Amino acid sequence: MIDTHAIFNIQSEQAFSDLALEIFKFQFENNKVYRSFCDLLYVHPSDINTIQDIPFLPIQFFKTHPVISSKESIQTIFTSSGTTGSTTSNHFVTDLTIYEASFKKGFEAFYGTAEDYVVLALLPSYLEREGSSLIYMVNALVSDSKHPDSGFYLNNISELKNTLNKLDSEGKKVLLIGVSFALLDLVETYQFHLKNSIVMETGGMKGRRKELIRDELHAQLKQGFGVENIHSEYGMTELLSQAYSKGNGIFECPPWMKILTRDTEDALSIQPFGKTGGINIIDLANINSCSFIATQDLGRVHNDGSFEVIGRFDHSDIRGCNLMVL
């Protein structure tokens, strides 16, 4: 059995690689869906010597199959938002303490403890449904902050405006975390001049507004909030870890998470640094599901391991990986 404490105590690239290879072997042996996928590719653990050799499971499998590596009972099911009529992803979680350790340690690595902040959450589309992993995370940050003004705001944006301005003027450290369309709605209604607040977008127009490229979105938000940088959170229903950007759309991962990119025409070919391709994610915290996921996002990885998200694939299926017949 893998020691989950080892996941959150990675100190070097070598330690990451060694643990990733160990987790690959564990998931190959214990995850029926992932094993079938590897078998279709004729890949066996004896063939795998580096993390670049590991097969990445296309993220759509979470819409059609239970992707589980544990025999423990399911504690919760996180579901993707999905547009009306589309199939949602299901992430069966057998150990919520691992998710909690991941998002708390991940947040602390970039921002320090949640207790240092007043956490204001503007996540209407997520609050309106069950099973959001983002709501679960932000709810814990709100709780950990222990500040009476921390909390969720749904349609009461005038109250949010007053609270945000009051706290900022008092010199409190504020984290305003919101879905993109709701933050845009807020700054189209009110103009801010924030001095002590971090504004963090979690992506997503959710069909409520026209999609904007990040530069346009951030330009509007910077002007509306009166801040120099817009922070971003990059996470997914199918993962248990998040990457963060403190501005300019450059994301960094916690030590137990890594991004690679694959050739868009040859899904099994990993690309060198600096080249745009499909984003593959290694999330070692996702040990009881699948830690190696091929997403539908496009991006590029820099030499230092930081990365940018450029957009999404035009087509709903990942080209070169039409192995959805399991």
Q: What is the DSSP string of 244-294?
A: EESSTT-EE--TTEEEEEE-SS-TT-BPPTT--EEEEEEEGGGTTS-SEEE
Phi, psi torsion values for 8, nearest 5 degrees: -95, 10
Q: Indicate whether 220 and 282 sit together in one domain.
A: no
pTM listed for this prediction: 0.92
Q: Indicate whether 130 and 55 sit together in one domain.
A: no
What does the alpha-carbon distance between residue 74 and residue 72 come to, in Å, rounded to a whole number? 7
Q: Does residue 53 lie in a domain region?
A: yes
Domain extent, residue 175, equals 98-234
What does the alpha-carbon distance between residue 54 and residue 38 come to, in Å, rounded to a whole number? 9
Q: Indicate whether 103 and 63 sit together in one domain.
A: no
Q: Among 104, 94, 47, which Cα is nearest to 288's?
A: 94
Q: Does residue 83 lie in a domain region?
A: no
Q: Does residue 24 lie in a domain region?
A: yes
> Based on the structure, what is the number of domains in the chain?
2
Tens digits of per-residue pLDDT, 189-248? 999 999 999 999 998 655 556 667 788 899 999 999 999 999 999 999 999 999 999 999
Q: Does residue 61 lie in a domain region?
A: yes
Q: Indicate whether 112 and 209 sit together in one domain.
A: yes
Q: Indicate whether 62 and 171 sit together in one domain.
A: no
Q: Indicate whether 43 and 154 sit together in one domain.
A: no
CATH code of 213's domain: 3.40.50
pLDDT for the residue 122: 95
pLDDT for the residue 207: 56
Q: Indicate whether 116 and 212 sit together in one domain.
A: yes
Place of tokens 């192995």: 323
Q: Indicate whether 129 and 172 sit together in one domain.
A: yes
Q: Is 88 exposed, middle or buried (0-12, 13-18, 19+ CB in 10 A)?
A: middle
pLDDT for the residue 127: 73
Q: Indicate whether 105 and 227 sit together in one domain.
A: yes
- Residues found in the chain: 326
- 148 Cβ neighbours under 8 A, 6+ residues apart: none
H-run or E-run covering 141? helix 133-145
The answer to whether 67 touches 57, Cβ cutoff 8 Å, is yes
CATH code of 296's domain: 2.30.38.10
pLDDT for the residue 205: 58
Regions of the chain where pLDDT drops below 70 = 82-85, 204-211, 314-326
Q: Does residue 264 lie in a domain region?
A: yes
Q: Indicate whether 223 and 260 sit together in one domain.
A: no
Domain stops at, among 234, 266, 291:
234
Q: Does residue 52 lie in a domain region?
A: yes
Domain stops at, among 234, 266, 295:
234
pLDDT for the residue 321: 38
Q: Does residue 239 lie in a domain region?
A: no
What does the alpha-carbon distance between residue 258 and residue 206 come to, in Å, rounded to a whole number? 26
Amino acid making up residue 315: H
Q: Indicate whether 63 and 104 sit together in one domain.
A: no
Q: Indicate whether 110 and 167 sit together in one domain.
A: yes
Q: Does residue 317 lie in a domain region?
A: no
